[in-house]
Structure 1
């Protein structure tokens, strides 16, 4: 579990400078037709950091950023890290209710957003937030701004600040123990908590993981998942460390992914299962020859076995399964070159800086093969839930293991078999099964786009299963068809859903997971009808 000494105390500003010296004018990031070299990343992130100082921001202040996957997101993250600002990435899906809570909780001094995106006016919302948040001093806009009060991010990148010296930058350099990052939990069950990481808990572990992913300067990385989430955010520093190109993809369009993979010679793809199911459906209609893919990394929810098998067969590449969360970073994952079946039977073995135990209800370790709560300990573990000491205290065992709320079991080789969230167990008249079993199967149904299985209270059996689904374009389905499909897959009758709710779209968290808390609330109304 020891951290590699070569990266143990490496800070992001040092990483940027080292990569600029090593890779110079090679391309580091690509967005559309724009290319940014490693040297340009060094220069622009330093320039922006100086502008942050000129605005009065200093080490220890929080800066919130609500942007899609873009160069502006990357340079803001790196600039903040250079002067010890606490970076708080936020999903573009958030609106006033979520943002007012999160920015107030972080006491954010600056907010970087955009004028508008996908038909929504973010700049207008930013000033509504500023009117009610006493700490929020600066609104910075990526792209064109419409409000004269906001600061254009491009103007800060175009010129050097006049009144900031190298000494000012040096005075704000962070240490490895300084706070680096605040990520809000996805809030699938309740109000999100603020996960605080230091540079020490965020940087070395991910550089170690990058080595395990076998990233090199021959790679081109593409993240289909949001950079504001822990699954993709580390790819920024991993690419810098190993000299890889990183293609920044802002607008997700399923029908163009294969062409994009081919055009940009993408070799390392990070994607959620929903993206990969879309990709497989595109493979049915498009020629997939000429791709450069060597490794696909997926996770975030139960990973359908058939999806992994089909990806390997059609795209001729390794597929890795990863389990993690904001609090622990990447907890376990399969490595390139490992036995193929591990990626659909397990979610891998522990990351280099961590260890996993399976605990019973009394927090006692369970033997190999027995299902219990997954507990994690290691150098990538978060410091605390910011401003929430009670939640922090209740989330750890006496010997320092984080209680994840996930269920799973370990095999004899130390590979983790993920079962699902503890709250997703459905007890139908004493016969228990896990919702993820059914969700995994229905994810692969050709008519279904999204699926969530939750329990509905029942006066006789205690609970029955309810399937919430959204459908693909112009499709129709009923409960009997779903039951027949599951029976054909070999499921026992007691595991079949007994209620069906069809929605245009299921609510999701920023990372793309179904927001089970919201779905459960709606499921309760079925019982009352």
Structure 2
């Protein structure tokens, strides 16, 4: 080693920049390449188990059904570069549509069920959908579409007339509300089996044109803090990030992953959709709406080794899932993220399942960014979101864009092959968050230590200016969760004549606990040592307002708080900016 190289290799990191390298190279393969490869190696191994639908698919059977559906899509007229939308909570249907579209280079736009009419119409138009899949258990969604697309009521030809606003031509569904006027997924698959040799050749010719860098999917942001944005991702982005997740967490083809995600359309759900093809493991996917006890019984029945669930899902498993009645000792890793989780709850869930809880940081724009290492030697703790995944760079910068010293709060920037290409049809918003050299401005305030561990304290707009003190939502929530009967907490800023801003703590309580907001505030006054962390108001909620993805709707929550407290709602829009 040359002296200069030696100095470079041993230099102490003193700036908030970290580049996570890896011995695992990035792959340059398509979905079809991966499916063909895994079928060749382990054709009879189960790829997916769908407990609600009572369906089990081996890799070989998966390939047969995906090929049949992909061929059917071609025969319908779908081609590389077209966009296919999906509104479904049927896991079997979702996975088949996703993989079949990818086989032929069709981009899958994933829409959240439960969007208001205007928002749903906007995302369908913005995505330029040529066809739209409506889940076979969603008559309500179809009825909603009839209000958005009047031609649905009268068209019997199986083809919608294109207008200047819309490219939509096909609805794919078998909901009763459609009166059988549209082809279903089953219809499309069965038709492709009429001339097997011709169809095989057609699929081969079409799939040869698909490249690993082609656009693959559109994830829509949750809309919890503003308008929905569609993020465009490529084939290579999703395949490679799950390969790096598997490398970080030590997943193998012998693992069985249970996904209990509240929405199949959310970016977090895709880990269970794609990892079987990438790693050869088995995914057990519970369709949203499954009974919470099903989550626990499925762990027992399928001997799941990996569990993916959000905090509300884990909470319900722990307190409503009758865990003690089942043998869950097969679980070794519990993957979670997207919200602040009380330390005592982590201890409980870890003890009950005898598994390590791995906090992960991800977004619709950047996919998975960082995660706790299962072999953590104590350098990290659960107040952070681990180190960046392989082939990922992160930096923390100040308001002038300069990298700050380690352990200093600033704006978190991310650069990797997994970052989204752009917001669909929104160049201005893309330019605001993504630089010409590939850095994505996450909008989160964070810090990083010398070992590369990231601590995220909140969004850059998630702060309270209480007098001269800058208060981050994450720190405030942590204090509010100190009450033993508080299950979840959210922060809403409120005006204050003396301090300019203060905050209301919005909480939900454990089980049958009955406490008033005043009683809770008295507890915080008596037990929180730092005066600034004591809320001006405390409000108790049975249910928080949620958006279509199951996330807390911060805008609706703020409106509800202001109306209940008799505060001027104009302050939310104008007062905070003044």
TM-score over 0.5 for the pair: yes
Once the 2 structures are TM-superposed, how far is the Cα of residue 73 of structure 1 from its aligned partner? 0.5
Distance (Å, rounded) in 2 between the aligned partners of 1:313 and 1:488: 31
Once the 2 structures are TM-superposed, how far is the Cα of residue 331 of structure 1 from its aligned partner? 0.7
- Structure 2 segments unaligned to the other structure (5+ residues): 1-19, 152-164, 570-578
Once the 2 structures are TM-superposed, how far is the Cα of residue 437 of structure 1 from its aligned partner? 2.3
Cα distance change on mapping 1:351 and 1:528 into 2, 3 Å:
same
Once the 2 structures are TM-superposed, how far is the Cα of residue 7 of structure 1 from its aligned partner? 4.8
Is 2:502 the partner of 1:464?
yes
Is 2:570 the partner of 1:527?
no
- Of residues 157, 160, 165, the one that matches 2:199 is 165
Aligned to 1:245: 282
Distance (Å, rounded) in 1 between the aligned partners of 2:25 and 2:42: 18
- Structure 1 segments unaligned to the other structure (5+ residues): none
Which secondary structure state, in structure 2, belongs to the residue aligned with residue 109 of structure 1? strand
Once the 2 structures are TM-superposed, how far is the Cα of residue 393 of structure 1 from its aligned partner? 0.7
Is 2:428 the partner of 1:428?
no
Once the 2 structures are TM-superposed, how far is the Cα of residue 285 of structure 1 from its aligned partner? 6.7
Aligned to 1:199: 235
1:255-404 to 2 correspondences below 5 Å: 255-282=293-320, 286-287=324-325, 289-339=327-377, 342-397=380-435, 399-404=437-442
- Residues 307-353 of structure 1 show CA distances to partners (whole Å, capped at 9, x for unaligned) of 22222222211111111101111111012222468351210000112
- Of residues 47, 51, 56, the one that matches 1:28 is 47
Aligned to 1:234: 271
Distance (Å, rounded) in 2 between the aligned partners of 1:492 and 1:186: 34
Distance (Å, rounded) in 1 between the aligned partners of 2:199 and 2:326: 52
Is 2:515 the partner of 1:477?
yes
Task: Flag the structure with larger Rg.
Answer: 2
Aligned to 2:99: 78
Distance (Å, rounded) in 1 between the aligned partners of 2:373 and 2:181: 49
Once the 2 structures are TM-superposed, how far is the Cα of residue 130 of structure 1 from its aligned partner? 3.4
| Contact 1:449/1:471, CA 8 A, preserved across alignment | yes
Once the 2 structures are TM-superposed, how far is the Cα of residue 35 of structure 1 from its aligned partner? 0.9
Aligned to 1:12: 31
Once the 2 structures are TM-superposed, how far is the Cα of residue 290 of structure 1 from its aligned partner? 4.6
1:80-99 to 2 correspondences below 5 Å: 80-99=101-120
Once the 2 structures are TM-superposed, how far is the Cα of residue 50 of structure 1 from its aligned partner? 0.8
1:98-247 to 2 correspondences below 5 Å: 98-117=119-138, 121-131=140-150, 134-141=166-173, 146-162=178-194, 165-169=199-203, 170-172=205-207, 173-225=209-261, 226-247=263-284
Which secondary structure state, in structure 1, belongs to the residue aligned with residue 129 of structure 2? coil
Cα distance change on mapping 1:23 and 1:9 into 2, 3 Å:
same
Q: What is the TM-score when the length of structure 2 is the normalising length?
A: 0.85
Once the 2 structures are TM-superposed, how far is the Cα of residue 421 of structure 1 from its aligned partner? 1.2
Once the 2 structures are TM-superposed, how far is the Cα of residue 6 of structure 1 from its aligned partner? 5.7
Distance (Å, rounded) in 1 between the aligned partners of 2:307 and 2:395: 29
| Contact 1:26/1:38, CA 8 A, preserved across alignment | yes
Once the 2 structures are TM-superposed, how far is the Cα of residue 397 of structure 1 from its aligned partner? 4.2
Distance (Å, rounded) in 1 between the aligned partners of 2:132 and 2:465: 45
Worse-matched range after superposition: 39-48 or 6-15: 6-15
- Residues 451-499 of structure 1 show CA distances to partners (whole Å, capped at 9, x for unaligned) of 3211012222111111233456654322233234445764523212222
Aligned to 1:438: 476
Worse-matched range after superposition: 16-25 or 70-79: 16-25
Distance (Å, rounded) in 2 between the aligned partners of 1:153 and 1:356: 42
Distance (Å, rounded) in 1 between the aligned partners of 2:339 and 2:34: 31
| Contact 1:443/1:451, CA 8 A, preserved across alignment | yes
| Contact 2:293/2:320, CA 8 A, preserved across alignment | yes
Which secondary structure state, in structure 1, belongs to the residue aligned with residue 443 of structure 2? strand
Distance (Å, rounded) in 1 between the aligned partners of 2:276 and 2:144: 33
Worse-matched range after superposition: 398-407 or 295-304: 398-407
Aligned to 1:61: 82
Which secondary structure state, in structure 1, belongs to the residue aligned with residue 148 of structure 2? helix
- Residues 186-223 of structure 1 show CA distances to partners (whole Å, capped at 9, x for unaligned) of 22222111101111222222222222222222211111
Worse-matched range after superposition: 282-291 or 331-340: 282-291
Is 2:60 the partner of 1:39?
yes
Cα distance change on mapping 1:264 and 1:270 into 2, 3 Å:
same
Which secondary structure state, in structure 1, belongs to the residue aligned with residue 270 of structure 2? coil
| Contact 2:192/2:199, CA 8 A, preserved across alignment | no
Once the 2 structures are TM-superposed, how far is the Cα of residue 284 of structure 1 from its aligned partner? 7.6
Cα distance change on mapping 1:416 and 1:205 into 2, 3 Å:
same
Cα distance change on mapping 1:475 and 1:384 into 2, 3 Å:
same
Distance (Å, rounded) in 2 between the aligned partners of 1:156 and 1:446: 54
Distance (Å, rounded) in 2 between the aligned partners of 1:366 and 1:296: 33
How many corresponding residue pairs?
A: 527
Worse-matched range after superposition: 166-175 or 419-428: 166-175
| Contact 2:295/2:321, CA 8 A, preserved across alignment | no
Once the 2 structures are TM-superposed, how far is the Cα of residue 429 of structure 1 from its aligned partner? 1.6
Worse-matched range after superposition: 171-180 or 422-431: 171-180
- Residues 36-71 of structure 1 show CA distances to partners (whole Å, capped at 9, x for unaligned) of 110111111111011111111111111111112511
